[in-house]
A = this chain, B = another copy of it.
């Protein structure tokens, strides 16, 4: 099963990379802008969010190709958020995945615009005529709404604002959970919900996928905090101990390393519980959740 899962992930990741390349290579836009967009978009990464879209839609009978534009839209939004988060006026980061950040290479103005362009391009993809024709415009419109709500003021951007507002202060557990559920959880939720919606899943199943993603996102974030303390900088591509230096509350600062690890595992168990009604076909989503706490980077 583990081998099959690794093969599945490698194949899907390759498909996603190829699609991201295809969707941006021929853009009728200033070359330097396209270069900046692609520099950040094609910088590797696990492609977790697009794979979540695909795995959720496969559970309800769609093929990866049917939802590829939506899957890539999500990755574009994730990438734009990293570019803007790294800006000097935000987190002021020089490195991302072991490479200079977008604004370090292309300048601040271009980084702002590359982020804006990626965010906008996500919605070009959501309106992709071939994809809309395949799943039907009603599902496409609903999925577009899911994505926009999760990415915007009531979701990811709102989480980033709350994160900034708590800078230099130690947030408590409930505040920390809230920030992360908005900042990273919202997009994970959108991923599986969009996959379900595009594939015509019923409302109860879409809700169930959303709850799976909430636990998944929590486990993911706790594990990020664990890796910040106990991870290998060469593998994570960022410095170790950054959170402590930034005086940020983390699950490790709140519960200690072992307490944080336990909580991550508990969140994974909750995620798995939500998948039970789907049975064997949910094997990818199951192993995806389990792999969150196997990560070393």
Contact = CB atoms under 8 A, between A and B. Distances in A.
Contact of A112 (B90, B127, B152, B154): B90
Interface-central residue, A109, A142, A151, by most chain B CB under 10 Å: A109
Contacts of A266: none
Interface stretch (A49-57, A157-165, A255-263, A271-279): A157-165
A88 to B, nearest CB: 8
Contacts of A161: 29-30, 32-33, 110, 113
Contacts of A137: 136-138, 140-141
What secondary structure prevails in chain A residues at the interface with B?
helix
A153 B112 contact: no
Interface string A94-117: 000000000000011110110111
Nearest to A143: B127
Given A117-B152, A127-B141, 19 more contacts: A28-B154, A29-B158, A30-B158, A32-B165, A84-B113, A113-B161, A117-B157, A119-B119, A119-B120, A120-B148, A120-B152, A120-B153, A121-B153, A123-B126, A123-B144, A123-B147, A127-B144, A128-B145, A141-B144
